[in-house]
Structure 1
Amino acid sequence: MRLKIACTVLVMLMLFALTGCLFGPEQKTSAPIDPPPAGVEEKYERQGAQKKAEEDAKADKKNQARVQLYFLANNGYVVPYAVDMPKVEGIAKEAMTMLVAGSKAESRLPEGFRGVLPKGTKVKGLNIQDGTATVDFSKEFLSYPAEMEKKILDAVTWTLTGFDSVERVNIWVDGRPLAKMPKGKTPAQGLTRNRGINLELAEGVNIGQSMPVTLYFLGQAPDNTVYYVPVTRMINRSDDVAGSVMQQLILGPKHGSGLSGALAETLKVNKLEMKDKTVLADFGGQLLQYGKGKSASKDAIQTIVLSLTENTGADKVKITVNGKAEATVEGKPLDKAVLRPEFVNPASL
């Protein structure tokens, strides 16, 4: 019996010894991991921060809406400028606050632009119903110089009618309708774009036999920013609206206005035709001023497109030169119809 037990113990000892030989003592199975090269962690941190910033920018953009507002430029004209605003309920009311002199919008505008409404004006309410926007201002709205009366009405009317749901504007002050502005007695109810903007009278025109056309000329800010200025000019009545627009656009802005035209005075208009919301416009070679007579200036094309679409109801213009679509603008072929930009200043071709 003792011999059996001794044999069993001996077998167990041999097994333990064999196990030790097979697996050996506990060891590290690999060499230590080297630390990452210098700067790698910082690089990944920067990439992560950049990615987060891009994601935040995208999210912020989704919460922004671009709105066409009208401000007073250094040359005295009311000028459109597109500003990004937070998407909030009652964005039209917020747009009105941006027109007040000294508003936060001014920091995002070119040098020489400012709000047109008197400083301190508050927007007490704005209601849109059946195409009519009724805006209620505080009493500070009435504290303006006489020469600013029509400019104020232009800015308010054109800003609000830029919203799809607004066709006309009524102005109230301190909760009551304002029948007429106090300085020049200009009506302040039922305002539409038909009253024009930056209104002027062409020479020798009988106002009783006239019609308005809104033309786009060029202005320049003190920081050399070039922008487009809408000017409504009263001209002799004509059934050829597109032809009259081009005639006046080529004639250019009034002398001493501080504005400039983008078209040569010798520019020949060969043909103007309306087809399916598109103006087909064929011009002479005078339109091509650069690149050995094959390139037109962006400003020339933009003033043509803005002016023709503003007055004809078209939404784009197909431009050819002597019947051919071979012109270029800043290196891009002008072979397709140019759509009116959704926003003016900044505008894109």
Structure 2
Amino acid sequence: MKHLKQIRGASAACLLAVPLVLSGCSLFGSESASVDPPPSEVEAQMLQVSGNTTLDSGVIGPVTQISSEGGKEAPVSNSSGTRATVFLEDANGLLAPVSMNLPKGELAANLKDSLTALVDKGAYASMLPAGFAGVLPAGTAVENVTLDKSNGLAVVEFNTGFNAYEPSDERKIMEAITWTLTGQEDIKGVQLWVDGKKLTEMPLKGTPLDRPLTRSMGINLPKQGALLMNSSAVTVYFSAASQDGLQYYVPVTRFVPSGTEPLKAALNELITGPEAGSGLEMVMTQETKLDHVEAGQNGVVTVSLKDDMFADGKDIPAEMLESVVLTIAQNTGDSLVQIRMNGKETVTGTNHVDYGKPVSAPEFVNELPL
């Protein structure tokens, strides 16, 4: 198996690296089923779910001020800015977190800028990585974003340009807005207003908005899924490659049998791999098996895998290990993770990180170059 070449290291604020690697193909092969909105009855039930800690947990870093002293170079005119993670549409039609630098400002202005980055052909379109685009219709203006910290509700006010989206993009727009804002520590839910009026449903297809949007709605739902009444949801991170051959991570919500232990179910979905035609890549080998997963009293989650390809626990593709860390963090509320491979306690990735020791999810995911 050909190991992929690492091209970027970790943020100084993180305990582990985010391996963005050059590759024109998947680590273990690419699965080639389209990801569409779920059946209407499933969608309605998902949007009514509240307090779902599995999907409301966020691994994406908050808006962070980046100084010119030791900070990463910002693709803006000044030498200081704000680091934020926004959810953009990739070439496969999936939403992916992308870390970018925005102008420095107060929190409300930063949140407004984060959503402005989602506008197709908007003010920040030239700053987006190749192959990525905003899902809000061109001409959308983010008039205001207010945050009530007492209940974690962000109220977003758009102009009427917001209504000009394609009906088929309705759910994707809701997901992009919700996941971008709820990456902030103090934001748990999102409420939408247009032209000074609170929306009770989305303008075109009438998706109900009778309660705040949260991450319980999921993201990148598969076209083929189990009925929600007999299942629960977990979110896992697969890998994809940009048009320039850069690897990045994509969250996908999967339905698993109700009553299944969430972490075990999520990891088994990761091992099963992406749906055919999604453009996502396998991060595990066909021989990877989950031995067990357990959360220790110290809050560290231990994931034990078996795979004869990595008998010595060395030079394991970083994508494989990072996907495990991201998936566990997403489904636990950012727990630290340590990985065992074939019983070995030293598990070294191709990014030279020892995942046998507790590591955290990256504060910022997918720091792709322009």
Same fold (TM over 0.5): yes
Q: Which runs of 5+ in 2 are unaligned?
A: 1-66, 73-78
Aligned pair 1:172/2:193, yes or no? yes
8 Å CA contact 2:292–2:304 kept in 1: the answer is yes
Q: TM-score, normalised by structure 1?
A: 0.77
CA distance in 1, matches of 2:133, 2:117: 10
Q: Which amino acid aligns with 2:136?
A: L
Corresponding position of 2:263:
242
Alignment CA distance shift 1:295-1:125 (3 Å): same
Q: Which amino acid aligns with 2:322?
A: Q
Q: 1:324: Cα distance to partner?
A: 1.6
Aligned pair 1:107/2:126, yes or no? yes
Corresponding position of 1:75:
92
Corresponding position of 1:297:
317
Q: 1:287: Cα distance to partner?
A: 6.3
Corresponding position of 1:92:
111
Corresponding position of 1:307:
327
Matches within 5 A, 1:205-244: 205-244=226-265
CA offset digits 1:279-303 (Å, max 9, x no partner):
11111134628xx763210100111
CA offset digits 1:4-55 (Å, max 9, x no partner):
xxxxxxxxxxxxxxxxxxxxxxxxxxxxxxxxxxxxxxxxxxxxxxxxxxxx
CA distance in 1, matches of 2:69, 2:171: 40
Q: Which amino acid aligns with 1:71?
A: L
CA offset digits 1:137-190 (Å, max 9, x no partner):
000101111111011001100111111221100000000001111222212340
Corresponding position of 1:319:
339
User: C-alpha root-mean-square deviation of aligned residues, in Å?
Assistant: 2.2
CA offset digits 1:39-78 (Å, max 9, x no partner):
xxxxxxxxxxxxxxxxx94398784221111111110001
CA distance in 2, matches of 1:81, 1:66: 10
Q: TM-score, normalised by structure 2?
A: 0.73
Q: Which runs of 5+ in 1 are unaligned?
A: 1-55
SS at match of 2:124: helix
Aligned pair count reads 289
CA distance in 1, matches of 2:118, 2:324: 28
Q: Which amino acid aligns with 1:288?
A: F
CA distance in 2, matches of 1:157, 1:100: 14
Q: 1:308: Cα distance to partner?
A: 1.3
CA distance in 1, matches of 2:326, 2:70: 32
CA distance in 2, matches of 1:151, 1:70: 10
Matches within 5 A, 1:1-349: 57-58=68-69, 63-89=80-106, 90=108, 91-129=110-148, 130=150, 131-188=152-209, 189-200=211-222, 203=225, 205-275=226-296, 276-286=298-308, 288=310, 294-330=314-350, 331-346=352-367
SS at match of 1:262: coil
CA offset digits 1:304-345 (Å, max 9, x no partner):
111111112342210112222233112443331121111111
Question: Which fold has the larger relative contact order, with Cα–Cα distance below 8 Å and residues 6 or more apart in sequence?
Answer: 2
CA distance in 2, matches of 1:272, 1:308: 10
Alignment CA distance shift 1:288-1:107 (3 Å): farther
8 Å CA contact 1:123–1:137 kept in 2: the answer is yes
Alignment CA distance shift 1:335-1:308 (3 Å): closer
CA distance in 1, matches of 2:205, 2:299: 39
Q: Which amino acid aligns with 1:174?
A: D
